[in-house]
Amino acid sequence: MEPLEINIPLKSSVFPPNHSQLKIKRTTLFIAPEGGNSKEVNVLLKFMPDGSTAQMDGGVIRSQEGLISKLKGNGDGWDIFMNKVPYGIWNLKLRDENDVNSFSEVKQLLKDQKIKDILLMITYQGKAPAWNI
């Protein structure tokens, strides 16, 4: 792995065990700034669902006000993950605002503690068991 890259293994056991047919509905990323002033970064998100040998590439997307989301209008590239199972290995890479091949600016932001947190949110749906009424 490269610097400023992380693999996030998401296991099926973290989801409700009585739900089936889990599918991703939306993928959102928020880069929480320290002090409220966001600095934009490029994010490359990839995903390999459990049981698959192919990694899906969501492409490089530039944050807007620290956010990457379909609702924000900049998350369309992550539509590739929709309707897939949410568990597998998520791969996240951070890159500089003006150069997707560099991470020196982002590294400095982290070193200077200008980034408070990075949140990857995966909204999903599933089928609950039938209730006897």
Q: Pick the closest to residue 102 from 18, 20, 4, 12 (CA basis).
A: 4
What pLDDT, on the 0 to 100 scale, is given for residue 73?
A: 92
Partner residues linked to 62 by β-bridges? 42
Burial class, 36, CB count within 10 angstroms (exposed 0-12 / middle 13-18 / buried 19+): exposed
Q: Which amino acid is at 120?
A: L
Whole-model pTM: value is 0.89
110 φ/ψ sector (left φ>0, alpha ψ -120 to 50, else beta) = alpha
pLDDT per position in the chain (133 positions), as tens? 677 899 999 999 999 999 999 999 999 999 999 987 888 999 999 999 999 999 999 999 999 999 999 989 999 999 999 999 999 999 999 998 888 788 899 999 999 999 999 999 999 999 998 887 6
Q: Pick the closest to residue 45 from 23, 30, 65 (CA basis).
A: 30
